[in-house]
Structure formats: structure tokens, C-alpha cells
């Protein structure tokens, strides 16, 4: 099955919609050292326009203030780490796990060595979850 079809099935089951990551600098131009969603960044820095973007990451990221999941683009290393994790711990039936699986599918191409493994684990997950209905 194609990753696009698997993504659609995961999202139909309810994959949490991540919040936009916000990048902040302090008055000296240094990075603000917290991962923040746009809402929390606005609360901290009033009267400022923020540019949100998708963060490249090796793992899921959460807002350091409110705990909401942030939008990330997984690196290939992050996909491989996710596979290693799921080999030990089968994905749970919740919307954050489904979002992580979506992120893994979005990060790979058929040329990647881990492509078949990612597709396989998502297919097994869907078979288990959809079969539970």
C-alpha cells in the first residue's frame, strides 16, 4: 500500500493536528531556548508577530509551556529511531502515536532503506486497530 493511502487511513482514525512551532529570539538576537507553540509564544512576547514553521527533528516535540504536540518534519535518523522504538513497543491506539506514524511516512521515500519497514509497521498497526472495531 502507498504511504499516501496509509496516511489517509491514520488521519481518518484521528491523528492529532500538531501546533505550529514558533521560533523566538531574545533582544540580543539569541535563540529562545524553549520549544513553543504560537499561542504560548504570543503570551510570552505580546505585540509581536511570529513566524511559525515546521521544525526538523529526530523525535516528536512538545510545547514546553502547554505540552501540545508541535509540527515536526522527522529526519531519516528520527524515522530509524522510531522504528527501533516500535520494534520494542508496538504503537498504542492514540492520536499522538498516529501522528508520529504519519510523520514517519511523510519523511521517507521508496529509495530509503527503512521504507519497507515503516510501511510494514503502519500496515500491522492499522490491521490491529481497524480490526478491533
Looking at the fold, whether 84 and 61 belong to one and the same domain comes out as no
- 23 in the same domain as 57: yes
Angle, to 10 degrees, between the axis of helix 95-107 and the axis of helix 3-14? 160
Q: Are residues 115 and 94 in the same domain?
A: yes
84 and 102 housed in the same domain: yes
Of residues 11 and 24, more confidently modeled: 11
Tens of pLDDT, residues 33-59: 788 888 888 887 765 555 566 678 898
Residue 72: predicted pLDDT? 87
Half-sphere exposure for 70 (CA within 13 Å, toward CB): 31
Buried b / exposed e over 77-110, threshold 16 CB at 10 Å, is: ebbbebeeebeeeebeeeeebbbbbbbbbebbee
Are 45 and 85 found together in one domain?
no
Residue 128 vs residue 42, higher pLDDT: 128
Residues 54 and 91 in one domain: no
Domain check: are 83 and 107 in the same one? yes
**Average pLDDT along the chain:** 86
Q: How many domains does the chain have?
A: 2
Same domain, yes or no: 56 and 101: no
Q: Are 132 and 82 in a shared domain?
A: yes
Point out which residues pair with 61 in neighbouring strands: 70
Domain that holds residue 28: 19-70
Task: Tell whether 23 and 12 lie within a shared domain.
Answer: no
The average pLDDT across 6-32 equals: 79
pLDDT digits (tens, 9 = 90+) for 104-119: 999 999 999 999 999 9
Q: Are 38 and 26 within one domain?
A: yes
Amino acid at each position: 500500500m502507498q504511504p499516501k493511502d496509509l496516511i489517509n487511513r491514520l488521519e481518518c482514525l484521528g491523528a492529532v493536528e500538531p501546533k505550529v512551532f514558533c521560533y523566538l529570539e531574545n533582544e540580543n538576537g539569541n535563540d529562545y531556548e524553549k520549544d513553543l507553540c504560537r499561542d504560548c509564544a504570543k503570551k510570552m512576547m505580546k505585540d509581536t508577530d511570529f513566524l511559525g514553521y515546521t521544525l526538523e527533528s529526530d523525535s516528536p516535540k512538545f510545547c514546553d509551556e502547554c505540552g501540545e504536540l508541535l509540527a515536526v518534519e522527522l529526519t531519516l535518523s528520527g524515522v530509524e529511531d522510531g522504528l527501533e522504538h516500535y520494534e520494542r513497543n508496538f504503537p498504542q491506539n492514540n492520536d499522538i502515536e498516529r501522528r508520529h506514524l504519519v510523520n514517519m511516512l511523510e519523511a521517507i521515500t521508496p529509495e530509503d532503506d527503512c521504507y519497507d519497514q515503516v510501511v510494514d509497521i503502519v500496515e500491522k498497526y492499522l490491521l490491529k486497530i481497524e480490526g478491533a472495531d
